[in-house]
Chains A and B, each alone.
Chain A
Amino acid sequence: MRGIDFVLKRTLFALITIFVAVTLNFVLFRALPGDAISNMSKVPGASPALRAELTQEFGLDRSKWSQYWIYLRELSTGNLGVSYSNQEPVTTELSRAVMNTIPMVLLGTLFSIVFGTITGVLAAWKRRTVVDYGSVSTALIFYSLPTHWLGLMLLLLTAGILPRGGREDEFLFNPTFMEHMIDIGKHMLLPSLTLGLVLYGQYTLVTRSAMLETLGEDFILTARAKGLPDRRIVRRHAFRNAMLPVITLVALSLGYIVAGSILIETVFSWPGVGLLVSRSVERRDWPVLQGAFLILTISVVLCNYVADLLYFRLDPRITT
């Protein structure tokens, strides 16, 4: 079968990267000299019983190597420790946050991919026209704005029109399901839009240059020689070829999406993983920060893996 090697290689790379991230997570938090958490069981306000239990569970009185081993074992059962600030298991807090982050990030990313691709293609097609200059400068501006600052500006502009933060209006009395969903949607709009606009700039620029590259290929000249109208050439011949590098670059921008979501969720108090990161930084809540970092890293690695497979599906030339 075509490219079984490729799939195996990418799977292996993803698995190893996750393992590296897991190890890095341990090293950063517990093995570095001068690390902030020499004792994971220093949970503020915890009962001696809980402390003893944690010490036992994570083997905090043993050597670093056996701690690492215990860490891996606990991780495989989904045990990431207990939050310092509210004594809840980190896994519970994280899964709740992930469910909030995913729709917000998806909406924003979808927005930027759709509009970024369209303007990028148009700009390349209408190169050196007002369309091109206009979309490139808009894209450059959005690309240059600091994410959280753009969020703050949107807050400033929409003051009084859209909710300022959070996930839902807590004073909404006895809402129906629809009302509740609309309320959440309203709260989600600004965070998603901020992410969407920031990524929009990047995707426009990336798509434009990939498209320009493709329009210089000889097969575009062939398509023109066949008498096809420009629209059809762009749709049938240029677009799919130009999308190949764009997929890779969108995958590479995942780190950027993650960074953006941390900042945006902080600005809008959207209760996702990003907010968890900034709250745990503020409260020096190491177990939560550790868990959130792990989740973010693993999701980036997995998304990259999916992008690789997608690329493989779309490009018949890949065999290894």
Chain B
Amino acid sequence: MNSPVLRVDDLHVWFDLPHGQELHAVQGVSLELAAGERFGLVGESGCGKTTTILALMGLLPSSASVSGAVELDGYDLLADGEESMRPHRWKDIAMVFQGAMNALNPVQTVGAQVVEPMAFHGIADGDEAKVRAGELLEMVGIGADRADRYPHEFSGGMRQRAAIAMALACEPKVLLADEPTTALDVMVQAQILELLTGLSEDLGLTLVFVTHDIPVIAELCDRAAVMYAGEIVEEGPVDALYHEPLHPYTRLLFGAIPDPLGEKDVISIPGAPPRLDREIVGCPFNPRCDVAFERCVDQRPKLLQLGDRRRAACHRNDPASEAAS
């Protein structure tokens, strides 16, 4: 892989809980993303996907503590917390939020909201910015003449398109998308996905796509990471995750996809993810795992590099434990 655009190293996020407790939401995530790559981040809800990408932009509430590094072109955005992050927001990393219904300010026109970051980051000003905003709206399939409309006058799909246009305003290198198609109907979902694919190809955007919807990842992404209990348990090309999963969770998760022919029932994984407000002993997936053995109960597996482009955190891949099974 050529030198990464975005490198995340040992990222941890904790949230304060009442009575002095803590919730360890992200437990040491490391990632490397190449330019123009489309990367998926999947897992059940509550596994830390959203927290991870919010941390990439430093958009965490004051109850959060963070450690680790988020490097963009070799520069550590997290070095000084929010302050070192702020100048790079939107200019280098932008984001499309879950449910664009509420991501747009209801009392400002859509155009004004696309113009705002351009003007603020010194990309374009005045009429020039307005023209550019019109172009961006055209690019996502909204007529430039609708820039002076308010968000409530748009349909859900159009609002999401407008949010994407807004995210592209400062020509970011990395675009984070947090479940951008939930709450949209299937037709519109497909259109938005197509739009994102096209944009990343045309503009050379690095796209990080967060979802619990596996088929979406299959359609859109080159590579993906599976998160469980705040950590990455497996990472690799999407094809490989599908056909030769190295972690039982990946196997069950990707197996849970409804069969296109509708012959098999949807499989859901029995049990629930572990609580993150106490320390996890052993493999976090072990209580739900169908192939667990003694070592899984008291020893936490490390994320091992397996071959050229794959990593997984399961004792079964460790040659040392081969004998035990």
Within 8 Å of chain B (Cβ to Cβ): is A10? no
* Of B103, B105, B120, most A-chain CB atoms within 10 Å: B105
How many Å from the CB of A276 to the closest CB on chain B? 41
How many Å from the CB of A232 to the closest CB on chain B? 8
Please choose the segment from B94-102, B192-200, B230-238 that sits at the chain A interface, where 4 or more of its residues have CB less than 8 A away.
B94-102
Q: How far is the CA of A151 from the CA of B63 in the complex (A)?
A: 43
How many Å from the CB of B267 to the closest CB on chain A? 33
Residues of A close to B86: CB separation below 8 A: 227, 229
Residues of B close to A240: CB separation below 8 A: 107
Contacts A217-B102, A218-B99, A317-B150 given; does A224 touch B107 at CB 8 Å: no
How many Å from the CB of B90 to the closest CB on chain A? 5
Within 8 Å of chain A (Cβ to Cβ): is B152? yes
Q: CB distance B106 to A227 under 8 Å?
A: no
Residues of A close to B152: CB separation below 8 A: 316-317
Residues of B close to A236: CB separation below 8 A: 116
List the 5 closest A-B pairs by CB distance, nearest first: A227-B89, A218-B102, A316-B150, A219-B105, A226-B117
Contacts A221-B59, A317-B150 given; does A226 touch B106 at CB 8 Å: no
A241 CB contact (under 8 Å) in B57, B106, B121, B150: B106
Within 8 Å of chain B (Cβ to Cβ): is A24? no
Residues of B close to A226: CB separation below 8 A: 89-90, 116-117, 120
Residues of A close to B106: CB separation below 8 A: 219, 241, 315-317
Within 8 Å of chain A (Cβ to Cβ): is B104? yes
Within 8 Å of chain B (Cβ to Cβ): is A130? no
Q: How far is the CA of A218 from the CA of B166 in the complex (A)?
A: 15
Having A217-B102, A219-B102, one finds 20 other A-B pairs with CB under 8 Å, namely A218-B97, A222-B163, A224-B59, A225-B90, A225-B97, A226-B90, A226-B116, A227-B86, A227-B90, A227-B91, A228-B116, A228-B120, A237-B105, A237-B108, A241-B106, A314-B107, A315-B106, A316-B152, A317-B106, A317-B150
Q: CB distance A241 to B117 under 8 Å?
A: no
Between A and B, 30 residue pairs with Cβ closer than 8 Å are A219-B104, A219-B106, A221-B59, A221-B103, A222-B103, A222-B104, A222-B163, A222-B166, A223-B105, A224-B59, A224-B89, A225-B57, A225-B59, A225-B90, A225-B95, A225-B97, A226-B90, A226-B116, A227-B86, A227-B87, A227-B90, A227-B117, A227-B120, A229-B86, A236-B116, A241-B105, A241-B107, A244-B107, A316-B152, A317-B152
Q: How far is the CA of A222 from the CA of B102 in the complex (A)?
A: 9
Q: How far is the CA of A246 from the CA of B166 in the complex (A)?
A: 29
Residues of A close to B104: CB separation below 8 A: 219, 222
B57 to A, closest residue via Cβ: A225
A222 to B, closest residue via Cβ: B103
For chain A residues 181-234, which have a beta carbon within 8 Å of chain B?
Answer: 217-219, 221-229, 232
Residues of A close to B88: CB separation below 8 A: 227
Q: How far is the CA of A177 from the CA of B88 in the complex (A)?
A: 61
Q: How far is the CA of A219 from the CA of B152 in the complex (A)?
A: 13
How many Å from the CB of B158 to the closest CB on chain A? 16
Q: CB distance A225 to B94 under 8 Å?
A: yes
Q: How far is the CA of A317 from the CA of B116 in the complex (A)?
A: 21
Interface residues in chain B, defined as those with a beta carbon under 8 Å from any beta carbon in chain A: 57, 59, 86-91, 94-95, 97, 99, 102-108, 116-117, 120-121, 150, 152, 163, 166
How many Å from the CB of A316 to the closest CB on chain B? 4
Residues of B close to A244: CB separation below 8 A: 107
Q: How far is the CA of A219 from the CA of B106 in the complex (A)?
A: 9
Chain B contact residues: helix, strand, loop or mixed: loop
For chain A residues 102-149, which have a beta carbon within 8 Å of chain B?
Answer: none
Contact-size category for A: 20 to 34
Q: How far is the CA of A224 from the CA of B59 in the complex (A)?
A: 7
How many Å from the CB of A213 to the closest CB on chain B? 12
Residues of B close to A228: CB separation below 8 A: 116-117, 120
Q: CB distance A227 to B121 under 8 Å?
A: yes
Q: How far is the CA of A223 from the CA of B106 in the complex (A)?
A: 13
Q: How far is the CA of A218 from the CA of B159 in the complex (A)?
A: 14
B163 to A, closest residue via Cβ: A222
**Interface membership of chain A positions 150-181, coded 1 if the CB is closer than 8 angstroms to chain B and 0 otherwise:** 00000000000000000000000000000000
How many Å from the CB of B71 to the closest CB on chain A? 18
Residues of A close to B166: CB separation below 8 A: 222
Q: How far is the CA of A217 from the CA of B86 in the complex (A)?
A: 20
How many Å from the CB of B120 to the closest CB on chain A? 6
Q: CB distance B107 to A316 under 8 Å?
A: yes
Q: How far is the CA of A232 from the CA of B117 in the complex (A)?
A: 12
* Of A221, A236, A315, most B-chain CB atoms within 10 Å: A221
Residues of B close to A217: CB separation below 8 A: 102
B107 CB contact (under 8 Å) in A218, A221, A232, A315: A315
Residues of B close to A232: CB separation below 8 A: 120
Q: How far is the CA of A136 from the CA of B99 in the complex (A)?
A: 34
Residues of B close to A224: CB separation below 8 A: 59, 89
Contacts A227-B90, A228-B120 given; does A222 touch B107 at CB 8 Å: no
Q: How far is the CA of A232 from the CA of B121 in the complex (A)?
A: 13
Residues of A close to B150: CB separation below 8 A: 316-317
How many Å from the CB of A44 to the closest CB on chain B? 58
How many Å from the CB of A35 to the closest CB on chain B? 50
B54 to A, closest residue via Cβ: A221
Residues of A close to B95: CB separation below 8 A: 225
How many Å from the CB of A38 to the closest CB on chain B? 55
* Of A223, A227, A241, A316, most B-chain CB atoms within 10 Å: A227
Residues of A close to B117: CB separation below 8 A: 226-228
Q: How far is the CA of A315 from the CA of B166 in the complex (A)?
A: 22
How many Å from the CB of B121 to the closest CB on chain A? 7
How many Å from the CB of B86 to the closest CB on chain A? 5
